[in-house]
Amino acid sequence: MAEQLNPFKMAQAQLDKAAKKLNLDPQIHTFLREPMRELWVSIPVKMDNGSAKIFKGFRVQYNNARGPMKGGIRFHPEETIDTVRALAAWMTWKCAVVDIPYGGAKGGVICNTKEMSQREVERLSRGYIDQIWRCIGPEMDIPAPDVYTNPQIMAWMMDEYSKIMGYNVPGVITGKPIPLGGSLGRGDATAMGVVYTMREAAKIIGIDLKDATVVVQGYGNAGYNLSRLLTKRGCRVIAVSDSKGGILNKEGLDYQTVKGHKDKTGSVIDFPGTKQITNEELLSLECDFLIPAALENQITGGNASNVNAKVVAEAANGPVTLEADEILSKKGVFQIPDFLCNAGGVTVSYFEWVQNNCGYYWTEEEVYEKLDKKMTKALYDVYGLAIKEGVDNRTAAYMVAVSKVAEVVKLRGWV
């Protein structure tokens, strides 16, 4: 990975920019630039052919000043420790910006689940917990699903942890299936959070969401759910993409048939009645909302000037680099920064943890109502500070989040 696109260095540079605006105590700033704890593990897994394969995994616990650490687990063939560090840092700021009592963490395993059987994935999931169980728990660090992990994997992990402890511990993991203590509304929580922030951004800049054109990069769980939810609100999703390429139809795409095509063929490309485009071309399409919902470092200094969207809603983590931020800001693009925009998932994970702890479960309507209030307040907190301080929305989001964490670090006497 090129040095300037190292995700952790990017996360540190974003923090540095906000710390300067906040006149943050240098000692607190230094403390907040690094993870508090890192765990590297080797996970032996018996494969179906009888051989044993060793997988490398990580758990980065960035900060727990405001409460138990929280963060997903990624199963990805190109996972790196710097990616996990960056995501753990962003989780710290994400929890703070929406004001939930968590710190930040993240986990990852270097693997390709597409080349593994379900039994092998289960053994890997349980093996990961066997390696990290001493460092997690409902009051310590609460994992959740992320890239290429899902509720079934969370169920195996929760079961493995419960076996080790000798009793059921539903609150150790969130994003679980509903019968195991999962929360209603968790499946599309990230997408719902993005939609709520888009709705308010549309009001701020004077767009009618019902007539808005939308481009979505990434057609996984978040991308599909975003297309579905936005179409139902009257938006016209004109282009979507996955790792193999993209499709464009300016009249609009039907989210259900596109999903059916991808499920059948493995990609959105070659969908009937559409123009084939590259991911690079997709990012430059004229639209009201551009939603990067794939991986990090998609909009860079090399292509940001080509962005023709009024709003960039960052559903993915770290999709826009620092250099691109400057360019988009000068172009007048309204950005909804990642750790605010996609905070719906961790917010409903928090709701799930609360429900697990009290043994009382809410309706889907109650979950969405509470999520809407959290996301809407967070957006206006950030936008209000951006206007007051004359900074871009990402810097304002960092200022809101970092000031909350720094205050608690100081109150606890850590620095």
- Helices 81-97, 344-358: crossing angle, 10 deg rounding: 70
Q: Which stretches of 304-344 are assigned E, i.e. beta strand?
A: 308-313, 334-336
Which pLDDT score, from 0 to 100, does residue 220 have? Answer: 86
State the catalytic residues: 106
CA distance 309 to 328: 10
C-beta neighbour count of 4 within 10 angstroms: 14
Distances (CA, A) of 218 to 143, 267, 314: 23, 11, 11
Structure tokens at 376: 């809407």
One-letter amino acid for residue 57 of the chain: G
Q: Give pLDDT tens digits for 302-338.
A: 999 999 999 999 999 889 998 999 999 999 999 999 9
Q: Are 284 and 308 in contact (CB under 8 A)?
A: yes
Q: Are 9 and 16 in contact (CB under 8 A)?
A: no
Q: Which domains does the chain have, with CATH numbers?
A: 34-171 (3.40.50.10860), 189-341 (3.40.50.720)
Q: 266 exposed, middle or buried (CB, 10 Å; 0-12, 13-18, 19+)?
A: exposed
DSSP state of 36: S
> Residues, the chain, total?
415
Q: From edge to edge, which strands make up the β-sheet containing 52-63? A: 37-46, 52-63, 103-110, 69-76, 141-145
Q: 234 exposed, middle or buried (CB, 10 Å; 0-12, 13-18, 19+)?
A: exposed
pLDDT tens, per residue, the chain with 415 residues:
344 578 899 899 999 999 999 999 999 999 999 999 999 999 999 999 999 999 999 999 999 999 999 999 999 999 999 999 999 999 999 999 999 999 999 999 999 999 999 999 999 999 999 999 999 999 999 999 998 999 999 999 999 999 999 999 999 999 999 999 999 999 899 999 999 999 999 999 999 988 899 999 999 888 999 999 999 999 999 999 998 999 999 999 999 999 999 999 999 999 999 999 999 999 999 999 999 998 888 999 999 999 999 999 999 988 999 899 999 999 999 999 999 999 999 999 999 999 999 999 999 999 999 999 999 999 999 999 999 999 999 999 999 999 999 999 999 999 9
- Strands 236-242 and 245-248 come out as antiparallel
Cα 1–106–194 angle (5° rounding)? 90
Tokens 């290429």 locate to 148
Among 226, 228, 240, which residue's Cα sits nearest to residue 197?
226
